[in-house]
Structure 1
Amino acid sequence: PTVLLFSQAVEKKPLVESTGSSLIQDKQREGLPWKKWSEESMKELQDNKQLTFIDFTAKWCITCKVNEKLVLDTDSFAQLVKERNINLLLGDWTKRDPIIGKWLKSQGFVGVPAYFVIDSQGQLIKLGETITLGELKRVLK
């Protein structure tokens, strides 16, 4: 079943597109209020104990694109974001931004994908390199 979903996603739209726009612009066009990740913005959301999902990704990352197709670009994810008033931060590692790379390394990651949540207590939770909608529903409460 997973292979079928993957092949269907590829047939409808290429997993990796070569557009000139930034990932944040692409994501915002899709309708969710993504904001650019920075340590400062993340710290502010943590200090204010605001529920937040953080996506570190890159245009060339195939695993990232699969996670997007199966989870992040779904109506169910959009509904979860709206229902629970979840902030969305996007770390674009397409050009291997050294600030993002250093921060990911400090968290035990060597690259993307990497997913995190700031919970309602202001705690940063590592989700790893793959995600499911069920997992997100459990931690984003």
Structure 2
Amino acid sequence: MIFQKPGSPAGSEAYGGCPGMDALAVMMQDVLTQNHALRRENNELMDQVWRLLCEKANLLAQVRLPTYLVVFNGDPARLPDFLIQAASYVNFFETRFSNDTLKVAFVISCLSGPAEEWVVPYMERESPILGQYERSVDALKRAFGRNG
């Protein structure tokens, strides 16, 4: 509701002689316009996020899940396949393996026989390599690879 002196023109006296009120009304209108534009943009972005989530779900449904890792017993002939399968599994389930320590722990859980015995000293001395996936894989390659 605009308060105006009877007989006075609209303008600086439109709000009962408060000259700053006109500027404030203009600023308020600008803020409301910006708010409306931001709400519209937010709704469009939320729609886009929803579409992308649906697309991701459809794509994931088409992907064949990697099989669970078989146990690696230290046989050098099986190491390359084991490492490829491990990397595939860890990458597919990246939310389960959010850091290198979890990745290394998972790979260790798939070791048996000589390969399991090989990792025990690292675990006993709490080696930093257990928190570094690439270094752990390199060490496994050195120990059990065909040139190891």
The structure with more radius of gyration: 2
Counting helix residues as a fraction of each chain, which structure ranks higher?
Answer: 2
The interval holding the TM-score normalised by the smaller chain is: under 0.3
Asked which structure has the greater RCO (Cα within 8 Å, sep 6+), the reply is 1
TM-score using structure 2 length: 0.25
As a proportion of its length, which structure holds more strand? 1
